[in-house]
Amino acid sequence: MEVIIRPNADAAANLTANVIADAIRAKPSLVLGLATGRTMERLYKRLAEIHQEDKLSFAQVRTFNLDEYIGLPPEDKHSYRHYMNQHLFNKVDIDPANTHLPNGVAEDIDQECAHYEQRITECGGIDLQILGIGNTGHIGFNEPLSAMYSRTRAKALTPQTIEQNASQFDNPEEMPRRAITMGVGTILDAKRCILLATGKTKAQIIAKAVEGPVTSMISATALQLHPKATVIIDQPASANLQQIEYYQWLFQNEPEWEPYR
Ligand code: GLP
């Protein structure tokens, strides 16, 4: 795992957008794993700008989102499908047929989960998976005690997650209690993972995820087992880390980051 600290949330999102843009330029049919949440709004805004300004094309890109609420149809404005259309898909030249999210209103949820895994495999696996982190340390909706080998499945949300996300709903009571999420194992199969987190409310969980012991209580710690995982954070989110000086040195000196400095 490597940690990159940028001065503020915009700089962290811009760096992530630049890495994604370069991955698309290198492989126009990139299989891109996507995340939702407030943190990602800056990232998608920047990607849409790069599409406009630098003519970055998403025409052949294939996407797979991490998760979707169970019980919300795609047209529901609180669904992650709606979020993705609004923040990214409607703003770039992506083919809607190439965008995938689990179907939260599938009749047979288990079958839907198996089908989602199958689609990822048919596309050749995820090249680059973007992740956020919830207050419980979840990636996707892999709440505490999610198995490290878990695959796409239905997961019950914790009270902390419900509290964190309910504010997004007009009526917080309407927030679903369950979601379909890629498993930790599904995420670890991606060729590269980037976790983006910003703001001081994430400082505590980032320290546990990055420098704490690997535990299924905090599914983001699984990224410590991934051969190519990068955590991109802003300064406030880095506040509780012990090796800040080292991480800062990495970005300033490692050849891989030279084009992004
Ligand atoms: C939801 C998503 C996660 C995301 C998290 C962070 O719970 N399922 O994938 O990482 O939100 O949200 P925010 O960026 O709003 O803090």
To test the pocket of ligand 1, the residue of 45, 66, 138, 193 to mutate (highest count of ligand atoms within 8 Å of its CB) is: 138
Summarised one tens digit per residue, pLDDT across range 179-200 is: 999 999 999 999 999 999 999 9
Q: How much of the chain exceeds pLDDT 90, in percent?
A: 98
Mean pLDDT along residues 27-35: 98
134 lines ligand 1 (CB under 6 A): yes
Phi and psi at 180, nearest 5°, equal: -95, 130
- Position in ligand 1 atom list of the atom nearest CA 165: 7
pLDDT confidence bin for 241, thresholds 50/70/90? very high
Give the pLDDT mean for 223-252: 98
Cα of 135 from ligand 1 centre, angstroms? 8
* Summary mean pLDDT of the chain: 97
Predicted pLDDT at 115? 98
> CB of 80 closer than 6 A to ligand 1?
no
Give me the pLDDT at residue 46, please.
Answer: 98
Of 63, 18, 77, the residue nearest 43 (C-alpha): 18
Q: Is the CB of 133 under 6 A from ligand 1?
A: yes
Comparing 125-129, 166-170, 235-239, the range with the smallest average pLDDT is 166-170
pLDDT (0 to 100) of residue 244: 98
User: If you measure from the C-alpha of residue 155 to the centroid of ligand 1, how many angstroms do you get, rounded to a whole number?
Assistant: 15
pLDDT of residue 113: 98
Work out the number of other CB atoms within 10 angstroms of the CB of residue 79: 21
pTM of whole model > 0.95?
Answer: yes
pLDDT category of residue 224 using cuts at 50, 70 and 90? very high
Residue nearest to atom 12 of ligand 1 (CA): 37
Band (103; pLDDT cuts 50, 70, 90):
very high
For the Cβ of 39 lying below 6 angstroms from any atom of ligand 1, the answer is: yes
Q: 160-189 burial by CB neighbour count: b if 16+ within 10 A, else e? A: ebeebbeeeeeeeeebbeebbbbbbbbbbb
What pLDDT score was predicted for residue 6? Answer: 98
183, 153 Cβ separation under 8 angstroms: yes
Binding site membership of 132 for ligand 1 (Cβ less than 6 Å) = yes
Q: Is-contact 188 147, C-beta < 8 A? A: no
Residue 47 — pLDDT band, cuts 50, 70, 90? very high
**Which ligand 1 atom is at minimum distance from the Cα of 67?**
8
Structure confidence at residue 134 (pLDDT): 95
pLDDT confidence of residue 209: 98
Q: How many whole angstroms from 131 Cα to the centroid of ligand 1?
A: 8
Cα(214) to centroid(ligand 1), Å: 20
Backbone angles phi, psi at 18, to 5 degrees: -65, -40
DSSP of the chain, one letter per residue? -EEEEESSHHHHHHHHHHHHHHHHHH-TT-EEEE--SHHHHHHHHHHHHHHHHH----TT-EEEESEEETT--TTSTTSHHHHHHHHTGGGS---GGGEE---TT-SSHHHHHHHHHHHHHHTTS-SEEEE---TT--STT--TT--TT--SEEEEPPHHHHHHHHTTSSSGGGS-SEEEE--HHHHHTSSEEEEEE-SGGGHHHHHHHHHSPPBTTBGGGGGGGSTTEEEEEETGGGTT-S-HHHHHHHHHH-GGGGGG-
For residue 178, what pLDDT is reported?
A: 98
**Amino acid at site 165:** N
* Residue minimizing CA distance to atom 7 of ligand 1: 134
Atom 10 (ligand 1): residue with closest C-alpha? 132
Cβ contact 102:116 at 8 Å: yes
Cβ of 146 below 6 Å from ligand 1? no
The band of 80, judged by pLDDT with boundaries at 50, 70 and 90, is very high
When pLDDT is cut at 50, 70 and 90, the band that residue 65 belongs to is very high
What single-letter amino acid sits at 65? N
Confidence at residue 126, expressed as pLDDT on a 0 to 100 scale: 99
Phi first, then psi: give them for residue 218, nearest 5 degrees: -130, 95
Please give the number of the atom of ligand 1 that sits closest to the Cα of 199: 16
Q: For residue 179, what pLDDT is reported?
A: 98
CB 62 within 8 A of CB 24: no
